[in-house]
Amino acid sequence: MVSVATMRDVASEAGVSTATISRYLNGKTNHMSSATAKRVTEAIKKLNYVPNESARQLITKQSRLVAVVAADVDDYFSTEIFKGVNSVLKKNNFIAVLMDSDSDEQRELGTLSSLNQQMFGGVIIQPLSNDLKAFKKVIPQNIPVVMLDRQVENSPWPSVVTNNYTISKKAAQYFKDQGLNHVFVITNNVKNVSTREERLSGIKAVFHENVQIIEPGDSEDSFNEAYTKLKRSVAATHGGLIFALKERWLLKFLPKLIRDGVIRKSDGVHMTGFSDTSLTDNIDPGIKVINQDPYQIGVSAAQILIEGVDSATQPIAKKIEIPAQF
Q: Which residues bind a second copy (CB under 8 A)?
A: 1-6, 9, 50, 52-55, 57-59, 63-65, 67, 73-74, 76, 79-80, 82-83, 86, 95-100, 102, 111, 114, 117-119, 255, 282
Residue placing its CB nearer to a second copy in the complex, 32 or 65: 65
Measured over the CA atoms of residue 67, residue 69, residue 75 and residue 76, the dihedral's sign is negative
CB of 76 to a second copy, least distance (A): 7
Residues 6+ apart with CB under 8 A from 81: 68, 70, 126, 148, 149, 294, 295, 297, 298, 301
CB of 55 to a second copy, least distance (A): 6
Q: Which of 18, 16, 77 is nearest to 51 (CA)?
A: 18
CB of 33 to a second copy, least distance (A): 26
Residue placing its CB nearer to a second copy in the complex, 53 or 232: 53
Question: d(Cα 142, Cα 246) in Å, to the nearest integer?
Answer: 35
Residue placing its CB nearer to a second copy in the complex, 124 or 241: 124
Residue placing its CB nearer to a second copy in the complex, 219 or 282: 282
CB of 6 to a second copy, least distance (A): 6
Residue placing its CB nearer to a second copy in the complex, 84 or 273: 84
Q: Which of 287, 253, 251, 130 is nearest to 196 (CA)?
A: 130
CB of 53 to a second copy, least distance (A): 5
Residue placing its CB nearer to a second copy in the complex, 255 or 286: 255
- Helices 18-25 and 7-14: crossing angle, nearest 10°? 110
Amino acid letter, residue 25: L
Q: For residue 111, with 0-12 CB atoms within 10 Å meaning exposed, 13-18 middle and 19 or more buried, which class applies?
A: buried
Beta bridge partners of 67: 97, 123
CB of 320 to a second copy, least distance (A): 24
